[in-house]
Amino acid sequence: MSALALFALAVNFVAVLGLTGLFANAGKLFGPKSVRVGDADLPYETGLPPLSPAHERMTVLYHRFAVLFVVFDVDLAFLLPWALNKPALTAGAMAAITGFTFVVLFMLAYFWRKGALECR
Amino acid sequence: MNLLAPQAALAAGVLGALGLGLARRPSALGARLLALAAPIAALWLLRSEVPGVFGPLVGVDLKGLCWQLVIFAGALPLAFLSSGDDVEAALFLGSVLGMSLLAAAGNLIMLFVGLEFMSLPAYLLVARAGEGSPRLRLEAAVKYFFAGALGGALFLLGLALYYADTRGFGPAMGPLGLQGQAGAALMAAGALFKIGAVPLHWWLPDVYSAAAPEVAGFLATSMKAAAVLFLMRVVSLAPDAVFIRALPGVGALTALVGAFFALRQQRLQRLLAYLSLSHAGLLVIGVGAWAVLGRAQAAAASLLFYLAADALMSNGSFAFLKASGAATRADLRGYAAGAPGVAAAFAVLLFALAGIPPTGGFVAELLIFWQAVHAQLAVPIVLGAVAALVSLGYCLSLLRDLYFEEPGAALAAPQGCAASGARIVVLVCAIGTMALVFAPLFLRGLAGSVWR
């Protein structure tokens, strides 16, 4: 715990604050600042006037899909290191990954059966 | 292949309970059987576990095995009183699985996985289990979730700092630098959050008093045991860390706050929640003494004994609330006249909670204080003793309400299977609390014969 370590910690702290502040405000700092008049400043969707405000509240149902997607996405990402390690695979590894895949499939079936995949 | 056999049994239980839910009309009997069978099977399979290190993630040691014993045993009352709902059974077993994974964790990453695994189902269990309006339970569950998420985040931040200093997820090889010290302290803060130590205790009374009584008993026993083990694992990482010196003080403060706030509570479940907080404080003092004594086995054994006694006392007293239907202290007046057996059992549990001699609670408190004396923690001992004295006051006044007051409005005793099950739990816990007085005589032989 030397003075150098304290200095490094301080630099780290300043760098984190500075960089996050920079990224959050980069658009304001470096973006074009041309002043537009008339219809040029109106928001649009594919050339049409927007139907509703952009900051609309979404139904919480979408959240369920998002969470389910993340869960299964991460589960399938676990298959990747297993597949890349092909030369070292034994029967035990095969059995383990089969069991894992079975559990993932079981959970998918569970959510399906419980109606969690229906948009209601 | 016996490795992680108890965990495998619990995981099979979780999958089985979810599988029951696939049926059009899930079988309540099946869910009850699974909730009860899986922890018992895990207890049975624990015998065959052998201490050792298996790969980078799994490390089984005697402490982890003993703690799993208490965790599974503390979960049995909730398993016994389970409502037969398949989702609740899966959540309950998932939480116990997380606790046992935490006990068998070989490095910090696995410890974090275990922490999250035991916490997430517990939040949902608080919201879901129980009768009546779920509004308060939902509020408590959300509060619990945010407190737990904050604790988990503190732990992760500490983990990152600790890794930056030591380049490893295991015990530190040399003295810690500044980052390592900060990391260890943050990880300990995460553990203290789970225990509910002052000043990180604000979620605990609300959660314990809003949850169903049997779920509160589960949180006060198994979850607390797992959290104490979690704190001990963090202490083991770096025995020279600065935060360890603060542990006895934090524990003493927690014991005092719990004891004094319980004085004014009229609702029984909230009173028991603060009492449980006070016990958590004693446990933190015990962890501090254990660290000061160079992580002596005797100090760890006294913590284990306290948790075992607490598993009986807390589960029994929370089950009494379910058995009697008493919500406030006024409901208790003259209860003994109507139900002498259950009242006597609750009286025994109150004696134990207050730490009065012929009960396991007294032996447990004595062992913790004994270790603290060895560690020369004079001020925490005095403060802890004051807390014990204060809790004596209201435990005795509850006894007076039970036996020496005229009955007020007749309390409608709950009928049916659940209430009689709760009565059985109260009686068994009271008998066990009495029997624990003799346990220190046999423990040495038991410990020798189970894991050799």
A70-97 pLDDT per residue, tens: 989 988 888 888 888 776 778 888 888 8
pLDDT at residue B445, rounded to an integer: 59
Query: Across the interface, do B21 and A114 touch by the CB < 8 Å criterion?
Result: yes
- By C-alpha distance, the chain B residue nearest A104 is B15
- CA distances in angstroms from B24 to A103, A104, B91, B342, listed in the order given: 21, 21, 20, 39
Q: Is the pLDDT of residue B450 over 60?
A: no
pLDDT range class, residue B409, cuts 50, 70, 90? low
pLDDT at residue B154, rounded to an integer: 94
Cis peptide before B239 (omega within 30 of 0): no
Look at chain B and count its residues.
452
Query: Across the interface, do A110 and B177 touch by the CB < 8 Å criterion?
Result: no
Contact at 8 Å (CB) between B59 and B105?
yes
Q: Is the pLDDT of residue B444 over 80?
A: no
Q: Is the pLDDT of residue B249 over 80?
A: yes
H helix count then E strand count, chain A: 4, 0
pLDDT at residue B258, rounded to an integer: 92
pTM of the model: 0.87
State mean pLDDT over B349-361: 87
Find the range with the poorest average confidence among A46-50, B173-177, B205-209, B402-406. A46-50
Contact at 8 Å (CB) between B336 and B343?
yes
Q: Tell me which chain A residues have a C-beta less than 8 angstroms from the C-beta of B21.
A: 110, 113-114
DSSP B267: B
- Integer Cα distance of B397 and B269 in angstroms: 16
List, for residues B40-80, the tens digit of each pLDDT value. Answer: 999 999 888 888 888 888 888 888 999 999 999 999 999 99
B35 to chain A, closest Cα gap in Å: 19
The phi and psi torsions of A45 (rounded to 5 degrees) equal: -125, 115
- Integer Cα distance of A61 and A53 in angstroms: 20
- Integer Cα distance of B121 and B386 in angstroms: 36
More confident residue, A92 or B267: B267
Which of A9, A107, A114 comes nearest B178 by C-beta? A9
**Percentage of chain B exceeding pLDDT 90:** 56
pLDDT range class, residue B429, cuts 50, 70, 90? very high
More confident residue, B441 or B365: B365
The phi and psi torsions of B186 (rounded to 5 degrees) equal: -65, -40
List, for residues B95-123, the tens digit of each pLDDT value. Answer: 999 999 999 998 899 999 999 999 999 99
Q: Which residues contact B112 (CB under 8 A, 6 or more apart)?
A: B152, B155, B156, B159
Q: Is the pLDDT of residue B192 over 70?
A: yes
pLDDT at residue B84, rounded to an integer: 83
- The residue type of B260 is F
When the pLDDT of each residue in chain B is averaged and rounded to a whole number, the result is 89
**Which one of A1, A11, A108, A111 would you mutate to disrupt binding with B, by most B Cβ within 10 Å of its Cβ?**
A1
Q: Is the pLDDT of residue B452 over 50?
A: no
Q: Which residues, in sequence order, are bridge partners of residue B105?
A: B58
pLDDT at residue B446, rounded to an integer: 56
Q: Which residues contact B333 (CB under 8 A, 6 or more apart)?
A: B401, B405, B406, B407, B408
Query: Across the interface, do A1 and B181 touch by the CB < 8 Å criterion?
Result: yes
Which of B15, B179, B181 comes nearest A106 by C-beta? B15
Q: Is the pLDDT of residue B439 over 90?
A: no
Coil/strand/helix, residue B58:
strand
Q: What is the ipTM of this complex?
A: 0.77
**Percentage of chain B exceeding pLDDT 70:** 95
